[in-house]
Structure 1
Amino acid sequence: MIAACGGLLVTGCATMPDSGDVQEVKGANQGDSQVRVYAVAPRESADPDEIVDGFLEAMTSDDPGFATARKYLTKRAAQSWKPEQSITVLTTAPDRDPSDRNADPENHVRTYPLSGRKIATVDARHAYQPVSPAPYLQSIHVVQQPTANGKGKEWRIDGLPPGLVLGEADFLRNYRSVNKYYFASGEDWVVADPVYIRQRQDPVTRMDPVTQTVKALLEGPTNWLKPAVDSRFPSGTELRKGVTTLTTDDQSTLKVPLNAKADLVGGEACRRMAAQLLFTLGDLTSVRVEQVELQGSRSQALCRLGKGQAAEFAPVRNTDRDENPYFVDEQHKLMMLVVGGREANAPAEVPGPFGTGTTPLRSVAVDRGETRAAAVGQSGRDLYVSSITTEEDLSPAVLSSKAVKPDDRLSAPSWDGRGDLWVADRDPAAPQLWMVPDGTGDPVKVRTPWLGDDARIESLRVSADGVRIALVVTRGERTTLQIGRVQRQTTGGKPVVSLLDFRPAAPRMESVTAVSWAGPSRLVVVGRETGGVQQVRYLQTDGSTSATSVLPGLNGVTSVAAPHADSVPVVADSGDDGIVRLAPGTNWQPLVKSGTAPVYPG
């Protein structure tokens, strides 16, 4: 195998120093997209060990069509192998064990066991699915076949695992996460749907990353999110045949040629199609797209939309406004933190009954518009909702728990972007998840048939789009992070809300302490891996991560809160250190010595 950066052939590189001693450079750094790997064809008379090792390395390359990798296969195996259909991700590159030569005394075939620790799969729709690390056991079968000139024999692979099998480092070097965007069913705002595309040209489709991303959007949402979202693109819409490259013009406009399925779309539908594209392409740092123009099958312009116009479809509006975190101070009052300056400012008092201290508070949540807050009283029994912009008397509790112990009562609440309020009652006698429409309506019991099965909701956070919910759940000795899909229906004029298709978001963590949303499809999670120390790290909602996702070390974290925008600090409750902040490019800094339960709006 050969790895390269530009025209320089090395085992891994980013820049070439012009002085100093020559040093060894190790390749396949986790997520290092600067490294290019080129496949090497099998040499003449290669033994079966070389054939297997060469093929395993060739799978990690950018070789167009995986043509070189196919040279290690028999003709039949090369025709049937579909590397684009799936990816199996292991903690490290697969281990190739020696073959059992005694199984074939006549020396015509070899079987090589492959082993490793499986941590995820990626399906044909580019969806990443993590799994709790588990043994991976497969095999590669090698046979002797006549050479092309018929004068001898050569070893080739005729049986192999499906798709690609990659170590995590090679996977992150070759693939990157992007968010596709679809509209929440029946709503006018978009929902992020993370998938993985190639960092560079796709070996199979020959498409550049921009074109791959557009193609993935047109293929529709991933199977997990599909029941909760809609695409405004007509069914069957694809890129015009033969399009493999999409580039912007000097006005940063991206023209996207579509097939005839899009020719008859109306103005409003086209605007929403363009909005899906703009949100999706906003994740690609390699291209700056200020507006998109959709074109029909005859290159006719269907519509144009700019980023400013697309903002009306965002689940969080007014994103230019500063986001402010809030917390409960040592007098159990609601206070606001000012975290944007270089120096930590004194907390600001909040208007309304939560800021007076007349009702001591245990936990809080502030709505996305920062006009109302929900708070659980100090005893954990009652949930209140009140204005935080005007002075008013405290209204009666909207919900109460009957649990005997305070820690078995109400969890910290959470607002979604629709203005609905969520809270869990952890009463062992009657565990229940509640949704309060608009924060003031009659509480709705959320359908969670699994909740009574020795499961307890420790905390929850609902996404801004209201389609997904993150739950910290204890079952037995383990506390895990689960992501569920929210389904809303109306039956007999009454709302019916269910949580469906839960999946693990941090399967490699043995214990999860706290979670916060940190944008459209990213979470900040506090937890501990088996045998490890507590970490604060970023995770995608599909459970994927990277080497750069771990935040600087912080001890004794009990809660964490992240903003919707990257430019605002993360805040956390770190026990003895009080409430601290982490601004981009800095280390943790103290904000308030005494205080608990920091939250950003949501």
Structure 2
Amino acid sequence: MRARAGLVGLAVLLGGCGTVPTSSDPVPITQVADPPEDVGIEALPPVAGASPEEVVRGFVDAMASTTRNHPVARQFLTSDAADSWRDTDGITVISADYAPVASDDGTVAVTAGLVGRVDEQGSFTTGDGQSFDQTFRLVQEDGEWRITDPTDGLLQLEPDFARTYDEVNAYFLDPTATRVVPDPRFLVSGESQATALVDRLLTGPSPTLSAGVTNPLAGVELRSNVRIDQQVATVDLTGLPAGTSDALNVLCAQLVWSLDQLDDVRAVRVSVDGAPVDVPGVPDVQTVDDWASFDPDAVPAVSVGHYVAGGALRTVTAGDAAPGPAGTGQYGLSAAAVTADARTNQLGTTVAVAAAGGTATLLVGPYGDALAPVLTAGTFTDPTTAATRPEVWTVRDGGEVIRVPATGSPQSVSAPALPELGTVRVFQLSPDGVRAAVVVDGPDGGELLVGTVARSDDQVTLGDLRAVAPDLSQVVDVGWRTASELVVLAGAQDEDGTAPWSVGVDGWDLTALSRSGLPGQPTAVAAAPSRTPLVVAAGTLWQLVSGTWSTLVRGQEPLPGGAPFYPL
């Protein structure tokens, strides 16, 4: 995959059993052609005289096969169980060090770490630190041990899962219809991946994301499998509602950005009922360059790193003071955020926090001009911005989410589940403004959650908060490296100290980042798409360059400061 490749995915397609015909009659595509023979794991049938533990191990190994219907895996089951077992009900991914233990009563208990689960549409949910425990009952059938009660769906070891599937983003639209929003899905490698991905788009966003995005492809069907010829994917649709010709641009952007991730696709041809779509100014064969304005990770050129030092707002350009009173230190700032307008390439509104005498004040004003107080509280989290709306968000007194529009009064955001989860220490919007990463106080220190921002005519809500990095403890800060990847400062379980990590927005692919060059444990982080991550360590600013943390001005002494951020 050219995009952030997943190591994981979903058995192509955990849906029904019909294939797409070559005629023009549209049908829902829930199962496509079998994957190539070299994809997945070669399943081995049971051997004569196998013990109960060996039968269970063989069954687990055989479920890693991508052959439709898993015929070899069914050989480890009794005849009745083989007929009734449904292998299309998602995948449970467990650690490779699982242990089957047989008992005298004809059962085998399997214990492992629960890595996560993948639903029928390919959405991954992390295991949330849980263990996996399942007991298989076996009986003798024709003189051989066979399993009588398999749980529907597949059970796969993490290495097998990672070897067989790719992580691919299905892209939907943010509420402003100006940017595509990633919705990670896991699909088996092979020729049918493009059709599977478009099918996921037609089916719609994952449950956790659906409230925050729109889907121009809702109700549309494929007339045939997606064809790829000389790296051009042809998508032939039908069933577009009447009067949707004006929406073809967002529909095409959604398809092109999604399919462009695949290794064998460089361009897309979109047809409706066999006729190429006619979008003014866009060629029949489209690329992401034709829809660059929808880039999920676009950042204005003016978005240079900022931080706070000595109560003053500064930039990472040699530590220069930001223009206006905020750059002089007169407000005694502790944190800030700035909006940026990609159309004008200008910085817009500054929202900053000043604390004195046990009271925190939220200040607002045009970038480079005077700031005025708008709210007071005991505490405010560091403000945060998104690239799709001129507004800044923060959390007051650890529990009340506040958004501050560029014009108008601050407004509370409904977050009904937040009070039960803990005091909020960090709150960061994704670049598209559809998700929020939140650090709350937990039993093991800071815990990282990701939620979805839903907007209606009269209300903004933060919901579907869920843990995405259960293997990390003592989370102290988080930033958005891309619209689908987070940078986290935290400790690993059973380890001391804080370090930088990256993790997918769905909790997959937790990876330790370099600590090389840092003078101590990092305490704050800033990240943005196509920008160098920044951290604060030992009270000084550092940037990640070629896998090593270096000072802001290479070859010079580190600059003191904290609360780094990138305007969006």
Give the shorter-chain TM-score range.
0.7 to 0.9
One-letter code of the match for 1:58?
A: A
Kindly state the Cα deviation for residue 211 of structure 1 after the two structures are TM-superposed. Answer: 2.7
Deviation readout 1:352-371 (Å, 9 max, x if unpaired): 22122222211111213334
Provide the secondary structure at the position in 1 that maps to 2:171.
strand
Q: Do structure 1's residue 507 and structure 2's residue 470 form an aligned pair?
A: yes
Partner of 1:107: none
Return the TM-score normalized by structure 1. Answer: 0.78
Match of 2:221 among 238, 242, 261: 238
Kindly state the Cα deviation for residue 560 of structure 1 after the two structures are TM-superposed. Answer: 0.6
Kindly state the Cα deviation for residue 531 of structure 1 after the two structures are TM-superposed. Answer: 1.4
Provide the secondary structure at the position in 2 that maps to 1:217.
helix
The alpha-carbon distance between structure 1 residues 466 and 209, as it changes in their structure 2 partners (threshold 3 A), is same
Q: Do structure 1's residue 212 and structure 2's residue 196 form an aligned pair?
A: yes
Partner of 2:287: 306
The alpha-carbon distance between structure 1 residues 465 and 155, as it changes in their structure 2 partners (threshold 3 A), is same
Give the count of matched residue pairs.
Answer: 509
Kindly state the Cα deviation for residue 127 of structure 1 after the two structures are TM-superposed. Answer: 1.3
Deviation readout 1:436-479 (Å, 9 max, x if unpaired): 122x4211112233455583211111122222111111156632
Q: Do structure 1's residue 436 and structure 2's residue 379 form an aligned pair?
A: no
**Unpaired stretches in structure 2, ≥5 consecutive residues:** 1-37, 279-283, 342-346, 553-557
- Are the equivalent residues in 2 in contact too, given 1:353–1:386 (CA < 8 A)? no
Partner of 1:150: none
Partner of 2:490: 527
Match of 2:350 among 370, 373, 377: 373
- Are the equivalent residues in 1 in contact too, given 2:260–2:288 (CA < 8 A)? no
Deviation readout 1:397-445 (Å, 9 max, x if unpaired): 12222x3xxxxx2221011221111111227xxx42211122x421111
- Are the equivalent residues in 2 in contact too, given 1:38–1:63 (CA < 8 A)? no
Partner of 1:41: 45
Partner of 1:426: 397
Q: Do structure 1's residue 347 and structure 2's residue 316 form an aligned pair?
A: no
Report 1 or 2 for greater relative contact order, CA contacts < 8 Å, sequence distance ≥ 6. Answer: 2
The alpha-carbon distance between structure 1 residues 454 and 466, as it changes in their structure 2 partners (threshold 3 A), is closer
One-letter code of the match for 1:113?
A: A
Alpha-carbon distance in structure 2 between the residues aligned to 1:113 and 1:482? 32
Partner of 2:6: none
Could you list the runs of 4 or more consecutive aligned residues of structure 1 that deviate by over 6 angstroms after TM superposition?
none
Partner of 1:589: 550
The alpha-carbon distance between structure 1 residues 54 and 262, as it changes in their structure 2 partners (threshold 3 A), is same
Alpha-carbon distance in structure 2 between the residues aligned to 1:36 and 1:434? 48
Partner of 1:171: 161
Deviation readout 1:577-599 (Å, 9 max, x if unpaired): x211112x321112233111111
Kindly state the Cα deviation for residue 550 of structure 1 after the two structures are TM-superposed. Answer: 3.7
The alpha-carbon distance between structure 1 residues 470 and 538, as it changes in their structure 2 partners (threshold 3 A), is same
Q: Do structure 1's residue 536 and structure 2's residue 508 form an aligned pair?
A: no
Provide the secondary structure at the position in 2 that maps to 1:115.
strand
One-letter code of the match for 2:491?
A: R
Kindly state the Cα deviation for residue 124 of structure 1 after the two structures are TM-superposed. Answer: 0.9
One-letter code of the match for 1:506?
A: A
Partner of 1:254: 233
Deviation readout 1:496-536 (Å, 9 max, x if unpaired): 32222211122222221000011112111111233113231
Partner of 1:56: 60
Say which one has the larger Rg.
1
The alpha-carbon distance between structure 1 residues 444 and 317, as it changes in their structure 2 partners (threshold 3 A), is same
Partner of 2:264: 287
Alpha-carbon distance in structure 1 between the residues aligned to 2:144 and 2:420? 58
Alpha-carbon distance in structure 2 between the residues aligned to 1:76 and 1:185? 49
Return the TM-score normalized by structure 2. Answer: 0.82
The 5-angstrom pairing of residues 110-189 of structure 1 reads 110-146=106-142, 153-185=143-175, 187-189=177-179
Kindly state the Cα deviation for residue 116 of structure 1 after the two structures are TM-superposed. Answer: 1.4
Provide the secondary structure at the position in 1 that maps to 2:70.
helix
Deviation readout 1:157-206 (Å, 9 max, x if unpaired): 332122122233332222232221112246443222122222x23xxxxx
Alpha-carbon distance in structure 2 between the residues aligned to 1:78 and 1:302? 47
Q: Do structure 1's residue 327 and structure 2's residue 307 form an aligned pair?
A: yes
One-letter code of the match for 1:328?
A: V
The alpha-carbon distance between structure 1 residues 75 and 497, as it changes in their structure 2 partners (threshold 3 A), is same
Kindly state the Cα deviation for residue 93 of structure 1 after the two structures are TM-superposed. Answer: 4.6
Alpha-carbon distance in structure 2 between the residues aligned to 1:269 and 1:277? 13
The alpha-carbon distance between structure 1 residues 47 and 580, as it changes in their structure 2 partners (threshold 3 A), is same
Partner of 2:315: 336
Alpha-carbon distance in structure 2 between the residues aligned to 1:451 and 1:73? 45
Alpha-carbon distance in structure 2 between the residues aligned to 1:527 and 1:517? 15
Alpha-carbon distance in structure 2 between the residues aligned to 1:310 and 1:518? 22
Percent identity between the two aligned chains: 28
Alpha-carbon distance in structure 2 between the residues aligned to 1:327 and 1:185? 30
Partner of 1:395: 371
Partner of 1:98: 102
One-letter code of the match for 2:197?
A: T
Alpha-carbon distance in structure 2 between the residues aligned to 1:166 and 1:351? 56
Alpha-carbon distance in structure 2 between the residues aligned to 1:541 and 1:161? 28
Q: Do structure 1's residue 413 and structure 2's residue 388 form an aligned pair?
A: no
- Are the equivalent residues in 2 in contact too, given 1:538–1:549 (CA < 8 A)? yes
- Are the equivalent residues in 2 in contact too, given 1:354–1:386 (CA < 8 A)? no
Alpha-carbon distance in structure 2 between the residues aligned to 1:488 and 1:275? 22
